[in-house]
Amino acid sequence: MYTLFDSFFSPTRVVVVSEERLQQAEKELKENQIQVIDNRIEELTAYRNNLQKQLAPAKSGADLDALDGGTHDG
């Protein structure tokens, strides 16, 4: 019969890992984190550049005409 106390007295599970394997796993984790950060930096830089282009003021009326396909005289 299973009782509540059986879980407290169950045998302890021990996992033995070599120091080299542990260091390799930590290194891989850090490399993955760096890659994720680099990807996010690229996304944010592209977004910033896009916003900066939207905020750039028009230099002259001719520039606006080029955008809408019209002429400078109306």
- What are the pLDDT digits (tens) for 11-46? 778 888 899 999 999 999 999 999 999 999 999 999
Q: In degrees to the nearest 10, what's the CA dihedral of 12, 17, 18, 22?
A: -130
pLDDT of residue 48: 96
| C-beta separation of 65 from 71 below 8 A | yes
pLDDT of residue 16: 87
pTM: 0.53
DSSP assignment of 19-74 equals HHHHHHHHHHHHHHHHHHHHHHHHHHHHHHHHHHHHHPPP--HHHHHHHHT--TT-
